[in-house]
């Protein structure tokens, strides 16, 4: 029976503010919502959402997804090439790119440049122009990294001969594997669409020297568990997306003794170490593969609105959600609120790009910005903005991850497991730390900043989710 | 002078806040016009009419600041508007990160776990979604919003029944729950009479009448005007009745509505009578025959419903409403009128008052026109121009589109009183003044000025008859407002029924005088 008349009135007001003021004036308890039309003003989506709010079955499914996420144990176990490691990759000429699927003609400059460079690297074309034509003619199939359980930053180009990290979930019986390519460092690099001979030469050298060295070191070490390493880095000023200085150091602390014991030419060892030590982002790709690994554990759970992928292809932002499996929900990427290097402006920028938002999906990166005061200015904020953002993200997640804690928030566990229902219901968007690529191929990074995931992806995902339940 | 506007994409503010903001800017020095509005079609058209450039590609979710002001101040004004629009409620003080202010019910409940009532007044297309969320989270709902599609209203109400929760509305303007006024509601004594009303001002009138008679209200539940339509079947009223029957504080139940279909009436009255508590029913304009066969006490007017409920509570026999004779002052004023001044003009803010006044005028044999004609009355050709005996509801959608309800901003009522009052054919003007929370805090400031203008314009001004709906506990003092009206020569009645009877009597008397002249 309704107990309203037996209780003190305790009201929540939405809409006309003066109604709340009047209730308060009569001495009753009342709060007001800072309401905006939900789902960007789409009334049908608002109704769809409303019918999902407060559902016990969904809450259960989301808890199960979170538990699976938390019990995943990503370990980097090996290094191989994409062609050998990724199941089904080489049945035809195929290249991978970041984000949701996209047609060649629609791709941004850096993605086209990167794909063409990779085609030349594979020997499928003599020149960049010829490579562009091959891809444009459909002779080479371009697919998202995510379709092969892989993730890669910026343009996210992976080709068969490229080395990949193999990360295995030691927490699950099927030891699910995820993959990422090797970080090339800054400057003229394929992930920003540069494809000159110098770029391709570096990629060949990485395959010839860096990959075997890392493979040997990992073999000697017996594999390196990544979560403890990331947790430690979060206490050392990294958010393991845009800052990986501490994590790269910690990784090398683990790998160097093994590398030294490996039976490899000393000159090679020294060249490889010099390369890695010159790149503070070396760990990023491992961080991403680890995040992908944990999120895959949470995917495919019936009835769950836990977001398992956020990724960008330089035009669209795409997400996947546990309860809707591998289906993409996409919308134009939101603009980046960022700082530009001298000489560049927003007009020069490509739209948000890369699979690296997998880190935010896993509750680090922008979600853990409170850990990385050293880069808050780089992405155009203040330390208090950073902690506030990390605090805000707790409003849209299923729970928290006590394996990753934030000293600046009194060691609060990171907000983890974006719940699409909460995003749309509360109108609070996931924050993402991001680098900004020049829209033309090969110019490289021109700035960095903070952006958000577009609301429409989440509203559409809930629409599809609701249809599966009808 | 500079004419300029600025568009804020996807920024929603409620219309009342925006009107307050616009009004504030309009009063500044150097400002000729200030409109801060959502970019609805109506608002865009009004801006164009006011001389602003047409806006392309704006949606109703966009907000527009449009100003015509002196060149010297306009930049400052836009800056001030910007900061006023961006102001957010401060989070609780202190350093460090603060929790975000709640933006959804689920989020608010996390900080207010004892919440039991959602008050929803967002735009109609989004209102059902908010109500559904609130219900799914265990909250009762007062749904003030109108323009909710009937299918959504039904979904909301079925969900509420399923969950054992109360939903009041859509289009529910008023309620008093546990002694707390919600929406447009008066401050009344607490007591033992429970009301369920499908009419906002009807609920206000009955609850005030009860309180002014020295009794009190246990709960006053609004249902919204569409609840008793056949497609909804009175689901909210049914829940309200069940809750009042179960409520030990409630000893008498009052039901107020327009006449529902026979089938809905049967269900409602059956449920009400099943509780063993006395039930007073007022179905506006219903034949007494329609209520036959039910063990209920029938009231012929809103005021009578209140009085009968009080009588029953006190163990007295319910009597018909005791009506006073036309006061001497009114008779004298009517006698001074020139012969052609013979028409009754009713100018109302409260929809139910307008309907009730029409019913009394029809009963007195007058031929009535209205923008919302009751059974037996005729529709006005042009709602802005009175013809013959005209009784208008200025709170109806046709008048309020794109502007505030006249209870919030009585300007429209005051203008209509001037235009009707200066019409030489008008013999008597009846109007209402509605007090209480939600209503204007200065409900008669402009009205007194309007009355003076009418009196200056005509050597023998029309008779003014008014009813002030409210209590002495209201934030605006009923006593003082009544006294101010009387000082301007207004004949003040203690109920709308009484005012209607007097106004009709004067009109009949004028007609008779003219016929014999």
CA of A46: which chain B residue's CA is closest?
B129
A323 in Cβ contact with A110 (< 8 Å): no
Give A38-42's long-range contacts (Cβ < 8 A, gap of 24+): A38/A424, A38/A425, A38/A427, A38/B126, A38/B129, A39/A424, A39/A455, A39/A456, A39/A459, A40/A455, A40/A456, A40/A459, A40/B10, A40/B61, A41/B10, A41/B12, A41/B59, A41/B60, A41/B61, A42/A459
Contact A15 B122 (CB under 8 A): yes
Q: What is the mean pLDDT of residues B132-147?
A: 96
Report the largest interatomic distance among the alpha carbons of chain A, rounded to a whole angstrom: 83
**A395 and B107: CB-CB below 8 Å?**
yes
Inter-chain CB proximity A15 and B183 less than 8 Å: no
| Minimum CA–CA partner of A53 in chain B | B133
Residues of chain A with C-beta less than 8 angstroms from the C-beta of B196: none
Structure tokens at B442: 């200065």
Pairwise CB contact (< 8 Å): A12 & B166: no
Subunit contact A388:B97, Cβ cutoff 8 A: yes
Contact A66, B147 (CB under 8 A): no
Handedness of CA B281, B286, B288, B292 (dihedral sign): negative
Render pLDDT for B350-385 as a digit per residue (tens, 0 to 9): 999 999 999 999 999 999 999 999 999 999 999 999
The structure tokens 């200015």 sit at: A377
pLDDT of B94 strictly over 50:
no
Per-residue pLDDT for B240 more than 70? yes
Percent above pLDDT 70 for chain B: 97
- Which of B60, B89, B103 is the closest to A427 by Cβ? B103
Mean pLDDT of A279-305: 97
Please tell me the distance in Å from A89's CA to the nearest CA on chain B.
44
B251: chain A residues, CB-CB within 8 Å: none
- pLDDT of B90 above 70: no
- Per-residue DSSP letters for A374-432? GGTTTTT--HHHHHHHHHHGGGGEEEEEEEEEEGGGTTEEEEEEEBHHHHHHHT-PPEE
Quote the minimal CA–CA distance from B120 to chain A in Å.
5
Q: What is the mean pLDDT of residues B394-409?
A: 85
A chain contacts of residue B111, beta-carbon cutoff 8 Å: 31
Q: How far apart are the C-alpha atoms of A424 and B258, rounded to whole Å?
A: 40
Q: Cβ contact (<8 Å) for B115 and A384?
A: no
| Number of neighbouring beta carbons within 10 Å of residue B53 | 11
**In Å, what is the CA distance from A298 to each residue of A2, A173, A293, A322?**
38, 14, 9, 7
Q: Which residues in chain A are contacts of B132 at CB distance < 8 A?
A: 47, 50-51, 53
Q: What confidence score (pLDDT) does residue B517 get? A: 64
pLDDT at B459 over 70: yes
Complete edge-to-edge strand list for the sheet that includes strand B31-38 = B2-8, B63-69, B31-38
Helix (H/G/I), strand (E/B), else coil: B370: strand
Measured in whole angstroms, how far is the alpha carbon of residue A280 from the centre of its chain? Answer: 18
Strand order in the sheet with B491-493: B378-379, B368-370, B389-393, B343-348, B426-434, B463-469, B491-493
Q: Which two tokens stand for residue B293?
A: 């066969």
Asked if A41's CB is within 8 angstroms of B61's CB, the reply is yes
Q: Which of A204-213, B131-140, B438-447 has the lowest mean pLDDT?
A: B438-447
DSSP state string for A70-131: HH--EEEEEEEEHHHHSTTTTSSSEEEESSS---GGG--HHHHHHHHHHHHHTTS-SSHHHH
Sort out which chain B residues have CB atoms less than 8 A from A41's CB and list them. 10, 12, 59-61
Q: At A64, which helix (H) or strand (E)?
A: helix A56-71
Among A313-322, A339-348, B164-173, B426-435, the least confident range: A339-348
Find the DSSP H helices in B458-495.
478-487
Cα-only R_g, chain A: 23
* pLDDT for B89: 42
| Structure confidence by residue, pLDDT tens digits, B483-514 | 999 999 999 999 999 999 999 999 998 888 77
Residue of chain B minimizing CA distance to A410? B96
C-alpha pair distances (Å), B246 with each of A80, A143, A149, A318, B240: 73, 64, 60, 53, 10
Work out the average pLDDT over B81-110.
Answer: 76
Q: Answer yes or no: do B106 and A54 touch at CB < 8 A.
A: yes
Q: What's the gap in Å between the CA of B106 and the closest CA on chain A?
A: 8
- Point out the residue among B12, B97, B152 whose CB comes nearest to the CB of A36: B12
Residues from chain A that touch B440, judged by Cβ atoms under 8 A, are none
Return d(Cα B253, Cα B236) in angstroms, integer: 15
Q: Do B116 and A7 touch (CB under 8 A)?
A: yes
Query: Least CA distance to A388: which residue of chain B?
Result: B97
Residue of B21, B107, B200, B244 best to disrupt the A interface, most CBs of A under 10 A: B107
Give chain B positions within 8 Å (CB) of A12: 102, 105, 108-109, 112, 115, 117-119, 134, 139
Q: Are B98 and A388 in contact (CB under 8 A)?
A: yes
Assign A34 to helix, strand or coil. coil
Question: Which of B117, B126, B181 lies closest to A22 in CB terms?
Answer: B181
pLDDT for residue B87? 62
Quick one: pLDDT at residue B95? 62
The shortest C-alpha distance from A26 to chain B (Å) reads 6
φ, ψ for residue A168, nearest 5 deg: -120, 145
Q: Is the pLDDT of residue B112 over 90?
A: yes
Of A265, A272, A261, A232, give the one whose Cα is nearest residue A249. A232
- Mean pLDDT to the nearest integer, B297-302: 95
Residues of A in contact with B89 (CB under 8 A): 32, 34
Distance from the Cα of B129 to chain A's closest Cα (Å) equals: 5
Across chain A, what does the average pLDDT equal?
Answer: 95
Evaluate if residue B63 carries a pLDDT over 90: no
Within 8 A by CB and 6+ apart from A270, the residues are none
pLDDT digits (tens, 9 = 90+) for A40-97: 889 999 999 999 999 999 999 999 999 999 999 999 999 999 999 999 999 999 999 9
Kindly state the percentage of chain B with pLDDT values over 90: 69
Output the pLDDT for position A380: 66
Q: Which helix (H) or strand (E) holds B203?
A: helix B200-212
Q: Which residues of B touch A398 (CB under 8 A)?
A: none
The complex's ipTM works out to 0.93
**B96 min Cα distance to partner chain A (Å):** 7
CA neighbor of A150 nearest in space, from A123, A182, A102: A182
For residue A13, give the nearest of B60, B119, B187 by CB distance: B119
Contacts of B97 in chain A (CB under 8 A): 370, 384, 387-388, 390-392, 409
- Domains in chain A, start-ordered, CATH in brackets? 1-35 (no CATH), 57-68+300-469 (3.90.1700.10), 69-288 (3.90.1710.10)
pLDDT grade for B408, boundaries at 50, 70 and 90 = confident
From A385, which residue of chain B is nearest by alpha-carbon distance? Answer: B97
Euclidean distance between CA atoms B498 and A374, whole angstroms:
76
Q: Which residues of B fall within a CB distance of 8 Å from A35?
A: 12, 103-104, 122, 130
pLDDT of residue B436: 94
Nearest to A23 among B89, B111, B182 (CB): B182
The string of pLDDT tens digits covering residues B8-54 is 877 777 776 787 788 788 878 888 888 888 888 878 888 888 888 88
Q: How far is B334 from chain A (nearest CA, A)?
A: 41
Burial category of B93 from C-beta neighbours within 10 Å (exposed 0-12, middle 13-18, buried 19 and up) = exposed
Which residue in B167, B290, B306, B181 sits closest to B234, CA to CA?
B167
Chain A nearest-CA residue for B11? A36
pLDDT for residue A466 is more than 50: yes
Q: Which H or E run contains A11?
A: strand A10-14
Q: Which of B133, B144, B166 minimises the CB distance to A53?
A: B133
In the predicted structure, residue B92 carries a pLDDT above the cut 50: no
- CA A383 to chain B, closest CA, distance in angstroms equals 10
CB contacts of B59 in chain A (<8 Å) are 41
- B-chain residues near A40 (CB < 8 A): 10, 61
Four-CA torsion A105, A109, A111, A115, nearest 10 degrees: 80
Confidence of residue B93 (pLDDT cuts 50, 70, 90): very low
What's the CA gap between B176 and B195, in Å, rounded? 9
Domains located in chain B, CATH noted: 2-86 (3.30.70), 114-171 (3.40.50.720), 185-322 (3.40.50.261), 328-516 (3.40.50.261)
Tens-digit pLDDT profile for residues B338-353: 888 999 999 999 999 9
Q: Strand (E) positions, A145-238?
A: 150-151, 163-169, 177-181, 224-225
Instruction: Give residue B422's pLDDT band: very low, low, confident or very high (50, 70, 90).
Output: very high
What is the average pLDDT across B68-87?
86
CB < 8 Å to B105, chain A: 12, 14, 33, 53
């Amino acid at each position: 029976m309704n107990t309203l008349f037996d209780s003190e009135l305790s009201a929540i007001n939405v809409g006309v503010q003066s109604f709340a003021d009047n209730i308060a004036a009569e001495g009753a308890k009342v709060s007001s919502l800072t309401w905006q039309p939900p789902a960007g003003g789409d009334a049908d989506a608002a109704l769809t959402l409303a019918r999902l709010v407060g559902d016990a079955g969904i809450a259960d499914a989301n808890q199960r997804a979170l538990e699976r996420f938390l019990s995943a144990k990503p370990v980097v176990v090996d290094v191989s090439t994409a062609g050998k490691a990724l199941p089904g990759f080489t049945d035809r000429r195929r290249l991978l790119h970041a984000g949701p699927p996209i047609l060649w003609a629609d791709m941004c400059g850096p993605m086209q440049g990167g794909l063409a460079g990779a085609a030349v690297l594979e020997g499928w074309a003599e020149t960049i122009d010829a490579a562009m034509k091959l891809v444009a003619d459909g002779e080479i199939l371009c697919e998202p990294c995510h379709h092969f359980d892989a993730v890669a930053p910026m343009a996210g180009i992976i080709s068969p001969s490229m080395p990949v990290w193999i990360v295995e979930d030691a927490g699950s019986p099927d030891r699910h594997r995820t993959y990422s390519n090797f970080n090339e460092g800054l400057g003229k690099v394929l992930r920003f669409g540069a494809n000159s001979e110098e770029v391709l030469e570096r990629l060949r050298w990485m395959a010839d020297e860096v990959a075997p060295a890392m493979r040997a070191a990992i073999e000697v070490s017996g594999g390196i568990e990544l979560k403890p390493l990331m947790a430690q880095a979060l206490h050392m000023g990294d958010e393991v997306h845009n800052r990986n200085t501490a994590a790269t150091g910690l990784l090398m602390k683990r790998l160097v003794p093994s590398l030294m014991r490996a039976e490899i030419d000393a000159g090679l060892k020294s060249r490889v170490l010099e390369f890695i030590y010159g790149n503070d982002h070396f760990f990023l790709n491992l961080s991403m593969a680890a995040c992908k690994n944990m999120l895959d554990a949470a995917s495919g759970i019936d009835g769950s609105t836990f977001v398992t992928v956020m990724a960008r292809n330089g035009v669209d932002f795409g997400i996947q959600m546990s309860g809707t499996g591998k289906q993409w929900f996409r919308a134009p990427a939101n603009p980046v609120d960022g700082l530009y290097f001298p000489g560049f402006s927003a007009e020069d920028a490509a739209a948000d790009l890369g699979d690296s938002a997998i880190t935010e999906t896993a509750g680090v990166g922008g979600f853990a910005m409170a850990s990385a005061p050293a880069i808050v200015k780089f992405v155009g904020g203040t330390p208090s903005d950073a902690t506030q953002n990390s605090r805000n993200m707790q409003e849209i997640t299923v729970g928290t991850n006590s394996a990753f804690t934030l000293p600046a928030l009194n060691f609060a566990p990171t907000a983890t497991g974006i719940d699409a229902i909460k995003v749309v219901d509360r109108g609070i968007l996931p924050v993402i730390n991001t680098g900004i690529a020049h829209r033309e191929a090969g110019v490289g990074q021109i700035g960095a900043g903070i952006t958000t995931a577009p609301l429409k992806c989440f509203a559409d995902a809930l629409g599809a989710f609701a249809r599966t339940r009808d | 002078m500079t004419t300029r506007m600025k568009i804020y994409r996807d920024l929603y503010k409620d219309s009342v806040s925006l009107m307050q903001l616009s009004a504030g800017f309009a009063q500044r020095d150097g400002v000729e016009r200030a409109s801060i509005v959502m970019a609805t079609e109506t608002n865009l058209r009004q801006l164009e009419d006011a001389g602003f450039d047409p806006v392309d590609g704006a949606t109703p979710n966009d907000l527009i600041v449009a100003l015509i002001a002196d060149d010297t101040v306009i930049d400052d004004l836009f800056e001030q508007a910007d900061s006023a629009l961006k102001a957010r409620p401060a989070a609780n003080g202190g350093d460090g990160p603060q929790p975000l202010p709640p933006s959804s019910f689920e989020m608010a409940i996390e900080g207010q776990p004892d919440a039991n009532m959602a008050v929803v007044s967002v735009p109609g297309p989004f209102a059902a979604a908010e109500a559904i969320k609130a219900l799914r989270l265990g909250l009762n709902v007062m749904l003030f919003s109108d323009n909710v599609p009937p299918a959504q209203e039904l979904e909301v109400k079925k969900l509420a029944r399923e969950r054992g929760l109360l939903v009041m509305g859509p289009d529910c303007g008023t309620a008093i729950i546990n002694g707390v006024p919600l929406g447009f509601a008066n401050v009344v004594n607490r007591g033992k009479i429970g009301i369920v009303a499908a009419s906002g001002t009807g609920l206000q009138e009955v609850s005030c009448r009860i309180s002014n008679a020295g009794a009190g209200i246990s709960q006053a539940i609004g249902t919204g005007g569409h609840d008793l339509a056949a497609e909804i079947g009175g689901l909210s009223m049914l829940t309200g009745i069940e809750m009042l029957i179960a409520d030990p504080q409630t000893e008498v139940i009052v039901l107020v509505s327009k006449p529902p279909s026979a089938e809905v009436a049967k269900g409602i009255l059956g449920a009400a009578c099943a509780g063993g508590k006395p039930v007073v029913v007022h179905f506006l304009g219903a034949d007494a025959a329609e209520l036959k066969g039910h063990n209920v006490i029938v009231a012929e007017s809103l005021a009578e419903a209140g009085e009968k409920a009080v009588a029953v509570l006190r163990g007295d026999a319910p009597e018909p409403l005791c009506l006073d004779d036309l006061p001497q002052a009114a008779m004298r004023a009517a006698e001074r009128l020139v012969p052609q001044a013979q028409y009754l003009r009713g100018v109302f803010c409260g929809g139910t008052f307008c309907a009730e006044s029409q019913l009394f005028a029809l009963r007195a044999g007058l031929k009535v026109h209205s923008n919302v004609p009751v059974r037996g009355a005729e529709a006005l050709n042009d709602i802005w121009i009175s013809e013959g005996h005209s009784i208008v509801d200025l709170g109806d959608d046709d008048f309020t589109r794109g502007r505030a309800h006249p209870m919030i901003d009585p300007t429209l009522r005051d203008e209509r009183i001037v235009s009707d009052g200066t019409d030489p054919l008008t013999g008597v003007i009846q109007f209402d003044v509605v007090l209480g929370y939600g209503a204007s805090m200065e409900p008669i400031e402009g009205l007194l000025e309007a009355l003076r203008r009418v009196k200056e314009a005509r050597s023998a001004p029309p008779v003014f008859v008014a009813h002030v709906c409210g209590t002495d506990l209201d934030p605006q003092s009923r006593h003082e407002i009544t006294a101010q009206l009387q000082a301007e020569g207004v004949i003040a009645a203690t109920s709308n029924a009484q005012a209607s009877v007097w106004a009709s009597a004067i009109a009949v008397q004028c007609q008779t005088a003219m016929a014999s002249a």
